[in-house]
């Protein structure tokens, strides 16, 4: 049979004093520190080319990042598109998501946006049309717009931050919501700060640098 | 193809193109006129300095093969299977440092490359794959031999691209080549629809250049370097963990100089094997699941780890909670995403390993005072040597076979291996002194890798000895490439460590599945020496200790491929062993230890 190699066995060996947590971070061995997940809004400027969305979404799914929403659209520069990606991850997870995203060749820039960045989502809600006046009042209250009104259904759109949209949806529930569609976040940084960290070599046109409108 | 209107124009452009590149050395530029997209593909490869291509012909890639018909500067090696082509190209890339090139047709040809591309991706090997594709008007229609190659290979390539126009396809290939080579190396792929390679064009490809958006770091931040240098200088128990990135960056000399100057013990990961000379007293051998006991003790108890070009794979770290838990980690890597991916880096140094080692060398004013630590390391080396028993009444021990080959062959011999127990014995019992001599499938663990890799390695380095260690199960998967080795008369020795099993699986079944040998025993493997003879190679059967020297000599003397079917002790297992996800310092020295830990 297979012989035993020489040397003291596992129980007789020197032991280290420290310990790391599951993220490979050194910790106090007494306290098994864990990082709580938080919500992060990432903005990626990408080359506007076929397959780039598949590449980004594929990256997120195969690395098991917990993605909440992903929106994409063109920018002033027609060769570039901007993606807004909302993820819920631990701190190391968010860092890793940013780095992995940045590694993709068509990705020009990746930045995590501050809490005070401008973050907006659009929702379209189709409710029962039995009480059109009440529906209209709520739409007004949330600064929304009625897109379609018929004898049996009313469809409205609301734009705003997640809290406002959640509240509006709650309010519409009394009429009976038939269908709903949410776009996920579109976001830009506030004021003069640029949303993308673009290297000098791929500096965008002056137009793109125009500060974004405030809300 | 009509040439009446196009030919004169093509000639003009060709003349202009030659004029436009005065700086290019003579003989390096593409001189044949470019007449179609396939010519542009070939020209791009030629401009990049490609000498060899490995591939298999097929319907959708035919235009590119046709463009190679009268090509004399590049040699195409036809392989028996696309998997053979990609592994050969991969090994060519590992041994030379320049991207290996493989080609296949669409559909099954392309999917047969997938394993090797994934392999190259895991190991950061420079590789470019060119795949044929059905004409664009058929794409998406489930046409004959159509596969969404871009979709299939997206997660396993550094970059892939669907070529859309004959005028751009040359540049597409140049870009893919440059991206495979620069920064953290890796596989790239260009999918070539037949209606892109076949139609006329006269556009010369540019030189290989990466896109503007791709800016890998070179030197690390000076302040970060000086901070890291202080931490290393102050360490009581420093180690250097050298990964594959050291070899990829050609930084072995810098590593050796740095370690020797500051007397810091060095261990390597499996891909980093050969980065440091194992005969040197500072060598702590190989770390990880089947690494040496002394490396795994040092890796666990160090207080300062300079980790260079490693991604802290789970086969290296075991349980991250117990990996170097007392250590400040200085992590040098060219890929920012590797920093703090698995093990948090206290001092990240982003840059090319060679450049950063130079920077660190300049910044280190004091060597760590670690005499006691070095003595401790030596104690562990004495306590936990790699060893095996060799009772005369037992069949051949695989470790002995590896050791005898190691002794008989020169230091710069290139050793390739498949995946399994044989790979681990080759890794453990060969004495590694030179970089780019250990070619195997590290991250993906691809059985069948070793032999086609040996073909690529031999073609890259025809004057060096190449030995492929294979297992019986592993060799079965790609042994058809013997036809190629015989046709090309490649002087390779294939050593099959034959235990009639997928030995590593059987070992795990012994350790963790109550010895239930489900689908792991292969009593029906062919006699590999006779298989070799059937292909026209030399075959040797090796069963007794007395025959070992004689067979090695005969195999080495034979000018061509030879297969040594070494019938080894089927009960021999690989130790030491850290159980998957375990604590590195609790490595098992035998099966009995596995029950304890």
How do the pLDDT tens digits run along chain B, 597 residues long? Answer: 333 334 334 444 444 444 444 444 444 445 679 999 999 999 999 999 999 999 999 999 999 999 999 999 999 999 999 999 999 999 999 999 999 999 999 999 999 999 999 999 999 999 999 999 999 999 999 999 999 999 999 999 999 999 999 999 999 999 999 999 999 999 999 999 999 999 999 999 999 999 988 999 999 999 999 999 999 999 999 999 999 999 999 999 999 999 999 999 999 999 999 999 999 999 999 999 999 999 999 999 999 999 999 999 999 999 999 999 999 999 999 999 999 999 999 999 999 999 999 999 999 999 999 999 999 999 999 999 999 998 888 899 999 999 999 999 999 999 999 999 999 999 999 999 999 999 999 999 999 999 999 999 999 999 999 999 999 999 999 999 999 999 999 999 999 999 999 999 999 999 999 999 999 999 999 999 999 999 999 999 999 999 999 999 999 999 999 999 999 999 999 999 999 999 999 999 999 998 888
Rounded to whole angstroms, how far apart are CA atoms B572 and B364?
46
CA distance B101 to chain A (A): 20
Residues facing B333 on adjacent strands: B350
Residue B36 has φ and ψ, to the nearest 5°, of -150, 180
User: Do residue B297 and residue A10 have CB atoms under 8 angstroms apart?
Assistant: no
Q: Which residues in A lie closer than 8 A to residue B588 (C-beta atoms)?
A: 10
Q: Which residues 72-91 of A are in CB contact (within 8 Å) with B? A: none
B281 is annotated as an active-site residue: no
Q: Which residues in A lie closer than 8 A to residue B589 (C-beta atoms)?
A: 4-7, 9
CA distance B597 to chain A (A): 7
Interface contact B320, partner A, CB < 8 A: yes
Contact B284, B292 (CB under 8 A): yes
Interface contact A7, partner B, CB < 8 A: yes
Q: Could you say which DSSP state residue B589 is in?
A: S
The DSSP H or E segment spanning B191 is: strand B187-193
Q: Which two structure tokens, joined as six digits, stand for A62?
A: 């195969």
Rounded to whole angstroms, how far apart are CA atoms B359 and B217?
14
Residue of B nearest to A60 (CA): B155
Helix axes B108-123, B82-96, angle to 10 degrees: 30
Rounded to whole angstroms, how far apart are CA atoms B537 and B529?
9
What are the strands, taking DSSP E only, across B309-393?
A: 328-333, 347-350
Interface contact B323, partner A, CB < 8 A: yes
> Residues with Cβ < 8 Å from B142, sequence gap 6 or more?
none
pTM, two decimals, is: 0.92
Q: Which two structure tokens, joined as six digits, stand for B318?
A: 């075991």
User: Do residue A26 and residue B344 have CB atoms under 8 angstroms apart?
Assistant: yes
ipTM: 0.85
B424 is annotated as an active-site residue: no
State the virtual CA torsion across B370, B429, B556, B395 in degrees, nearest 10.
160
Q: Which of B198, B504, B572, B587 is catalytic?
A: B504
Among A99, A110, A92, which Cα is nearest to A37's?
A92
Q: Which of B144, B261, B557, B571 is catalytic?
A: B144
Residue of B nearest to A25 (CA): B344
Residue of A nearest to B328 (CA): A26
Contact B593, A10 (CB under 8 A): yes
Rounded to whole angstroms, how far apart are CA atoms B132 and B442?
28
Residue of B nearest to A26 (CA): B325
Contact B133, B92 (CB under 8 A): no
Q: Angle at CA B28, nearest 5°, toward B24 and B30? A: 100
B82 is annotated as an active-site residue: yes
CA distances, B115 to each of A60, A182, B375 (Å)? 22, 39, 44
């Amino acid at each position: 049979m297979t012989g035993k190699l020489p040397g003291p066995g596992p129980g007789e060996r020197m032991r280290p004093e420290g310990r790391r947590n599951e993220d490979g971070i050194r910790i106090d061995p007494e306290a098994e520190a864990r990082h709580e997940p938080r919500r992060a809004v990432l903005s990626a400027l990408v080359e506007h080319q076929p397959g780039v969305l598949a590449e980004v979404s594929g990256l997120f799914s195969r690395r098991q990042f917990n993605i909440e929403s992903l929106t994409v659209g063109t920018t002033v520069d027609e060769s570039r598109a901007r993606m807004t990606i909302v993820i819920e991850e631990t701190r190391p997870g968010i860092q890793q998501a940013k780095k992995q995203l940045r590694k993709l060749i068509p990705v020009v820039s990746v930045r995590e946006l501050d809490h005070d960045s401008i973050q907006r989502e659009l929702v379209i809600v189709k409710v029962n049309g039995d009480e059109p006046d009440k529906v209209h009042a709520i739409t007004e209250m949330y600064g929304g717009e009625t897109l379609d009104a018929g004898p049996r259904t009313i469809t409205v759109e609301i734009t705003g931050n997640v809290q406002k949209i959640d509240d509006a949806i709650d309010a519409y529930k009394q009429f009976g919501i038939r269908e709903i569609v949410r776009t996920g976040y579109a976001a830009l940084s506030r004021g003069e700060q640029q949303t993308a960290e673009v290297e000098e070599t791929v500096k965008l046109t002056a137009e793109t640098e125009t500060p974004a409108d405030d809300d | 193809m009509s040439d009446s209107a196009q030919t004169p124009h093509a000639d003009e452009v060709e003349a202009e193109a030659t004029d436009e590149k005065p700086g290019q050395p003579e003989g390096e530029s593409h001189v044949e006129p470019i007449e179609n997209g396939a010519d542009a593909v070939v020209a791009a490869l030629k401009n990049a300095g490609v000498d060899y291509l490995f591939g298999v012909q097929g319907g959708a890639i035919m235009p590119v093969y046709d463009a190679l018909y009268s090509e004399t500067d590049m040699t195409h090696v036809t392989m028996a299977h696309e998997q053979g082509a990609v592994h050969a190209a991969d090994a060519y890339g590992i041994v030379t440092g320049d991207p290996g090139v493989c080609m296949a047709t669409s559909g099954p040809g392309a999917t047969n490359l997938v394993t090797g591309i994934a392999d190259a991706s895991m190991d950061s090997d420079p590789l470019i794959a060119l795949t044929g594709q059905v004409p664009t008007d058929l794409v998406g229609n489930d046409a004959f031999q159509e596969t969404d190659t871009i979709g299939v290979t997206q997660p396993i390539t550094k970059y892939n691209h669907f070529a859309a126009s004959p005028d751009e396809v040359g540049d597409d290939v140049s870009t893919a080549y440059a991206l495979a080579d620069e920064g953290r190396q890796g596989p790239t792929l260009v999918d070539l629809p037949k209606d892109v390679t076949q139609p006329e064009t006269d556009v010369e490809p540019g030189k290989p250049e990466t896109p503007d958006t791709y800016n890998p770091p070179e030197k690390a931040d000076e302040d970060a370097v000086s901070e890291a240098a202080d931490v290393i200088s102050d360490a009581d128990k420093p180690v250097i963990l050298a990964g594959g990135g050291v070899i990829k960056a050609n930084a072995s000399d810098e590593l050796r100089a740095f370690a020797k100057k500051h007397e810091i013990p060095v261990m390597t990961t499996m891909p980093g094997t050969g980065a440091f000379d194992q005969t040197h007293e500072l060598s702590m051998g190989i770390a990880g699941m089947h690494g040496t006991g002394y490396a795994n003790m040092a890796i666990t108890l160090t207080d300062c780890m300079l980790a260079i070009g490693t991604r802290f794979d789970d086969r290296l770290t075991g349980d991250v909670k117990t990996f170097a838990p007392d250590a400040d980690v200085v992590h040098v890597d060219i890929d920012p995403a590797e920093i703090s991916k698995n093990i948090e880096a206290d001092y990240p140094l982003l840059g090319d390993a060679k450049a950063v080692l130079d920077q660190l060398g300049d910044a280190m004013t004091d060597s760590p005072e670690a005499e006691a630590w070095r003595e401790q390391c030596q104690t562990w080396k004495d306590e936990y040597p790699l060893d095996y028993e060799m009772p005369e009444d037992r069949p051949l021990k695989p470790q002995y076979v590896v050791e005898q080959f190691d002794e008989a062959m020169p230091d710069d011999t290139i050793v390739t291996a498949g995946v399994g127990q044989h790979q681990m014995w080759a890794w453990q019992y060969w004495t590694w002194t030179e970089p780019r001599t250990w070619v195997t499938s590290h991250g993906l663990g691809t059985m069948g890798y070793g032999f086609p890799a040996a073909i690529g390695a031999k073609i890259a380095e025809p004057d060096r000895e190449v030995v492929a260690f294979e297992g019986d199960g592993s060799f079965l998967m790609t042994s058809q490439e013997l036809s190629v080795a015989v046709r090309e008369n490649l002087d390779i020795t294939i050593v099959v460590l034959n235990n009639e099993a997928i030995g590593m699986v059987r070992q795990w079944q012994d350790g963790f599945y109550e010895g239930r040998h489900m689908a792991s025993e292969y009593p029906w493997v062919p006699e590999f020496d006779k298989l070799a003879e059937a292909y026209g190679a030399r075959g040797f059967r090796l069963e007794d200790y007395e025959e070992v020297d004689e067979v090695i000599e005969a195999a080495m003397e034979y000018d061509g491929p030879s297969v040594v079917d070494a019938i080894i002790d089927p009960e021999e297992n690989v130790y030491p062993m850290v159980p998957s996800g375990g604590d590195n310092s609790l490595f098992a020295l035998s099966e009995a230890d596995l029950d304890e830990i």
